[in-house]
C-alpha cells in the first residue's frame, strides 16, 4: 500500500481515538517515511527539515492570540456580547430562541466569509469574536458543532468560489496558472462557474448541519465558561476607540506587509502606549496568548514536518501515477479516483493551496487524454485540491474554529470540529465534483 495512504490513515485513526494530534502527526510521519523507503534517520531528518516551515505560522498565531487577549481587555468585544446576552435574557418564545440562534450563526458565517476577502485576516477573527459569544451560545444551548461547520464553510467555500482576496490567490494565481502551464486553455471567467457546483454541495452540507444534524439543544457547563470571564467591567469609550484604532492599524499593516506578526505586534503596542495594557502585564498577556493559540502553532509546525516526510518519500507522485494506470479509458472512474487521491494528499499536507502544483502536472495531461473539457478540468483539479481542507486534523480551517470554541475545554477538536466538517463537506464535494465533471461540463 502507498505510504501516503498509510501515513494519513494512521494519523487520522490515532486522532479519532483521542491521541494528541501532534503525537499522531509524528507517529504517522515516522511510519510513512519507513514504509516509503526512507531509513529511520532519513525520516527524522526529513521531519526536522520541515519543522522550520511552520515556525513563522506558529509565532504568527501566538502573537495573534496575545493581540486577541488585549482586544478582549479593552471591552470592545463585550459590546456585541452584552447586546446578544440582553436579547437572550429577554427570550419569551421558542421562535425567539431560534431567531437568536440563527442570527448568531449568520453573523459568524458572514464574518468567516469576509475574513477571506473583504477583511482578509483568515482565521484571525476567531479568537477575537468567538470566546465572548460562548456565554450566549450556552444560554441558547446552541450546538458548537454547527458553529464549527459555519466557520469552516466560510473559510473554505469562499476561496473556492469568489476570485478576490484568498480566493484570488487560490483560483487565479495558483489554480489557473498551473492549468495553463500544463496545457489547458482556460480563462479566469470560467473558474467561479466551474467551481459553483462543488461549492453548492458544500452549501447543502452546511444546511444539513445547521437545520438537521446539529439542530437539537446541547448543554454546556456554565461554570467553565464563567471561569474565563472576568468580573463585569464598564465599557470605557476611550478604550473602545483605542481598540478600533489598534485593529485598523493591525489590519492595515498585515495587508501592506503580509505579516500577521508585525500587524499583531503593532496593534498590541498601541494598547500599551494608550495605557489599556500596562507594560508590566505584557508577560501575562503573552502567556494567555500562548494558551489560546499556542497549540494550533505546535500542530502547524508538526504538520509541516509530516508533509516534508511525505514529499521526501516520493510516494505522492507514485500514488497519482498508480491511479493513472488503474483508470484506463473510464472517465467516471477517473474523476472519482482523482478526487479521492486529492483528499488523501490535502489531508496529509494540510493545505489545498500546496496540493494544486503537485496534482496538476499529472491530472491535467490525463484529463486532456480522456477529452475532458476545460471547465471539467478546472472542476476536477480545484475540487481535488480543496478536498480535505475541511476535515483535516492539521488544517487551519479546522484548527481555527477549535481555537475559539474550545477556550473553556468543552469542544473537542476531532469529534466536534474535524469529524463534523469532514462528513458534511468532503462527501458532498466528492459527489457534486464528480457529477459536475462527468455529466455537466
Question: According to the per-residue pLDDT averaged within each range, which of 31-35, 163-167, 202-206, 383-387 is highest?
Answer: 202-206
pLDDT band for position 88 (cuts 50, 70, 90): low
Q: Does residue 84 lie within any of the structural domains?
A: yes
Per-residue pLDDT, 419: 92
Range of the domain at 312: 3-216+233-440
Q: Does residue 224 lie within any of the structural domains?
A: no
Q: Residue 230 contacts by C-beta under 8 Å, 6 or more apart in sequence?
A: none
User: What does residue 20 show for φ and ψ, rounded to 5 degrees?
Assistant: -50, 135
Whether residue 368 is predicted with pLDDT greater than 80 in this model: the reply is yes
pLDDT band for position 126 (cuts 50, 70, 90): confident
Question: According to the per-residue pLDDT averaged within each range, which of 4-8, 251-255, 353-357 is highest?
Answer: 4-8
Per-residue pLDDT, 50: 80
Average of pLDDT values for 209-215? 94
Average of pLDDT values for 389-395? 80
Whether residue 164 is predicted with pLDDT greater than 60 in this model: the reply is yes
pLDDT band for position 398 (cuts 50, 70, 90): confident
Average of pLDDT values for 366-383? 88
Question: Rounded to an integer, what distance in angstroms lies between the CA atom of residue 364 and that of residue 416?
Answer: 36
Question: According to the per-residue pLDDT averaged within each range, which of 78-82, 107-111, 222-226 is highest?
Answer: 107-111
Q: Does residue 221 lie within any of the structural domains?
A: no
Provide the whole-model pTM: 0.77
Whether residue 85 is predicted with pLDDT greater than 70 in this model: the reply is no
Q: How many domains does the chain have?
A: 1
Of the candidate ranges 356-360, 382-386, 416-420, the one whose mean pLDDT is the lowest: 356-360
Question: Rounded to an integer, what distance in angstroms lies between the CA atom of residue 182 and that of residue 176?
Answer: 10
Average of pLDDT values for 16-41? 85
Q: Does residue 222 lie within any of the structural domains?
A: no
Q: Does residue 262 lie within any of the structural domains?
A: yes
Q: What is the mean pLDDT of the chain?
A: 82
Average of pLDDT values for 104-123? 82
Q: Does residue 142 lie within any of the structural domains?
A: yes
Question: According to the per-residue pLDDT averaged within each range, which of 76-90, 186-200, 340-354 is highest?
Answer: 186-200
Average of pLDDT values for 85-91? 63
Average of pLDDT values for 369-394? 86
pLDDT band for position 121 (cuts 50, 70, 90): low
Per-residue pLDDT, 377: 92
Asked whether the beta carbons of 172 and 402 are under 8 A apart, the reply is no
Question: Rounded to an integer, what distance in angstroms lies between the CA atom of residue 152 and that of residue 424?
Answer: 11
Whether residue 44 is predicted with pLDDT greater than 80 in this model: the reply is yes
Q: Does residue 280 lie within any of the structural domains?
A: yes
Whether residue 351 is predicted with pLDDT greater than 70 in this model: the reply is no
pLDDT above 90 coverage of the chain, percent: 20
Question: Rounded to an integer, what distance in angstroms lies between the CA atom of residue 105 and that of residue 120?
Answer: 20
C-alpha closest to that of 351 among 318, 383, 311, 396: 396
Grid coordinates 499556542 are at which residue? 294
Q: Does residue 223 lie within any of the structural domains?
A: no
Q: Residue 88 contacts by C-beta under 8 Å, 6 or more apart in sequence?
A: 100, 136, 139, 140
C-alpha closest to that of 320 among 365, 374, 352: 365
End-to-end CA distance of the chain: 33
What tens digit of pLDDT does each residue of 33-42 get?
A: 888 888 888 8
Per-residue pLDDT, 324: 67
Amino acid at each position: 500500500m502507498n505510504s501516503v495512504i498509510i501515513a494519513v490513515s494512521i494519523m487520522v485513526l490515532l486522532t479519532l481515538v483521542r491521541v494528541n494530534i501532534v503525537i499522531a502527526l509524528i507517529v504517522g510521519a515516522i511510519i510513512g517515511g519507513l514504509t516509503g523507503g526512507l531509513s529511520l534517520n532519513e525520516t527524522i531528518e526529513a521531519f526536522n527539515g520541515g519543522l522550520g516551515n511552520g515556525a513563522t505560522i506558529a509565532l504568527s498565531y501566538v502573537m495573534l492570540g496575545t493581540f486577541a487577549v488585549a482586544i478582549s481587555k479593552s471591552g470592545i468585544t463585550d459590546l456585541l456580547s452584552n447586546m446578544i446576552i440582553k436579547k437572550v435574557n429577554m427570550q419569551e418564545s421558542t421562535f425567539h430562541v431560534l431567531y437568536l440562534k440563527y442570527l448568531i450563526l449568520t453573523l459568524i458565517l458572514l464574518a468567516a466569509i469576509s475574513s477571506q476577502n473583504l477583511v482578509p485576516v483568515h482565521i484571525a477573527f476567531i479568537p477575537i469574536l468567538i470566546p465572548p459569544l460562548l456565554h450566549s451560545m450556552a444560554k441558547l444551548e446552541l450546538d458548537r458543532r454547527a458553529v464549527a461547520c459555519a466557520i469552516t464553510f466560510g473559510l473554505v467555500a469562499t476561496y473556492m468560489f469568489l476570485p478576490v482576496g484568498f480566493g484570488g490567490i487560490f483560483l487565479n494565481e495558483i489554480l489557473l496558472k498551473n492549468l495553463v502551464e500544463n496545457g489547458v486553455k482556460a480563462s479566469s471567467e470560467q473558474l467561479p462557474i466551474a467551481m459553483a457546483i462543488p461549492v453548492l454541495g458544500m452549501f447543502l452540507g452546511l444546511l444539513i448541519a445547521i437545520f438537521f444534524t446539529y439542530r437539537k439543544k446541547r448543554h454546556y457547563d456554565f461554570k467553565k465558561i464563567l471561569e474565563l470571564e472576568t468580573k463585569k467591567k464598564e465599557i470605557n469609550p476611550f478604550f473602545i476607540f483605542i481598540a478600533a484604532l489598534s485593529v485598523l492599524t493591525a489590519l492595515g499593516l498585515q495587508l501592506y506587509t503580509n505579516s500577521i506578526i508585525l500587524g499583531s505586534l503593532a496593534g498590541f503596542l498601541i494598547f500599551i502606549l494608550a495605557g489599556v495594557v500596562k507594560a508590566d502585564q505584557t508577560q501575562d498577556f503573552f502567556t494567555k496568548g500562548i494558551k489560546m493559540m499556542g497549540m494550533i502553532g505546535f500542530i502547524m509546525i508538526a504538520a509541516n514536518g509530516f508533509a516534508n516526510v511525505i514529499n521526501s518519500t516520493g510516494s505522492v507522485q507514485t500514488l497519482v501515477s498508480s491511479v493513472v494506470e488503474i483508470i484506463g479509458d473510464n472517465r467516471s472512474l477517473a474523476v472519482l479516483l482523482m478526487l479521492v487521491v486529492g483528499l488523501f494528499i490535502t489531508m496529509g499536507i494540510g493545505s489545498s493551496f500546496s496540493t494544486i502544483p503537485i496534482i496538476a502536472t499529472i491530472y491535467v495531461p490525463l484529463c486532456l487524454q480522456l477529452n475532458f473539457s476545460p471547465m471539467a478540468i478546472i472542476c476536477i483539479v480545484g475540487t481535488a485540491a480543496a478536498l480535505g481542507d475541511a476535515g483535516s486534523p492539521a488544517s487551519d480551517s479546522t484548527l481555527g474554529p477549535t481555537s475559539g470554541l474550545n477556550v473553556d475545554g468543552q469542544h473537542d477538536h476531532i469529534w466536534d470540529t474535524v469529524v463534523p466538517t469532514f462528513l458534511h463537506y468532503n462527501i458532498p464535494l466528492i459527489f457534486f465534483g464528480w457529477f459536475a465533471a462527468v455529466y455537466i461540463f
